[in-house]
Amino acid sequence: MHTATAFPAARDYLEVYESHGLSGPRSVFAHCVHLSDGEWDRLAAAGGAVAHCPDSNFFLGSGCMRLRAATGRGIRVGLGTDVGAGRSFSLRQVVASAYDASLIAGAPATAEELLWLATRGGACALGMAAELGCLQPGHSADLAVIDAPEIAAADGLFDALAFRRDAAPARAVFVRGALLRGAVAAGPEVV
């Protein structure tokens, strides 16, 4: 059954949530592929956030979220894997898919911006920016250590992190600052 059939009094998809008190600063809406400009405006006014799941959207063939429709209105956006309909837990895969979606939508995003959405943006979208999403004292240190190619400039590093999916697996993974068991520490550059 389609949402419009189940809720015939609602003028659009977002109103279904609004009419049940489910649109506000603690709300995180996934996908947002088919929102109208008016719905984007109301979502921004309510202080809601978005989990942008482009890999899932491509897998389902459901369309591309207009990232600029959200970020241009100041809506908090984080990248999500949505493996219920996607193909990977890898946020690097999601970053690459988000880049492709931004091209299709006609408003390209940079690797730096997309990596921010995959880290700090996700923490902000969840209302957890005081404890997650960046490397600074007082924040949980969840991180993966990977080999980066030799590069000439910082923007090359962002591109490598975002788009080099054929890179070797992580050398080490830390959760809340602790090295996971079984992870391989490959030398002093890991610590």
Q: Predicted confidence band at 191 (pLDDT cuts at 50, 70, 90)?
A: very low
Which amino acid appears at position 179 of this protein? L
Which pLDDT belongs to residue 183? Answer: 55
Q: Predicted confidence band at 68 (pLDDT cuts at 50, 70, 90)?
A: very high
Q: Predicted confidence band at 189 (pLDDT cuts at 50, 70, 90)?
A: very low
71 has a pLDDT exceeding 90: yes
Weakest-pLDDT range from 28-32, 91-95, 159-163: 159-163
- Tens of pLDDT, residue by residue over 35-51, are 999 999 999 999 999 99
Residue among 132, 95, 92, 135 nearest 113 (CA): 95
Q: Two tokens at 184?
A: 């391989």
Contact present, 70 and 14 (Cβ < 8 Å): no
| pTM of structure | 0.87
Which pLDDT belongs to residue 185? Answer: 52
The domains found in the chain, sorted by start residue, are: 3-131 (3.20.20.140), 141-191 (no CATH)
Which pLDDT belongs to residue 29? Answer: 96
Which pLDDT belongs to residue 1? Answer: 56
164 has a pLDDT exceeding 90: no
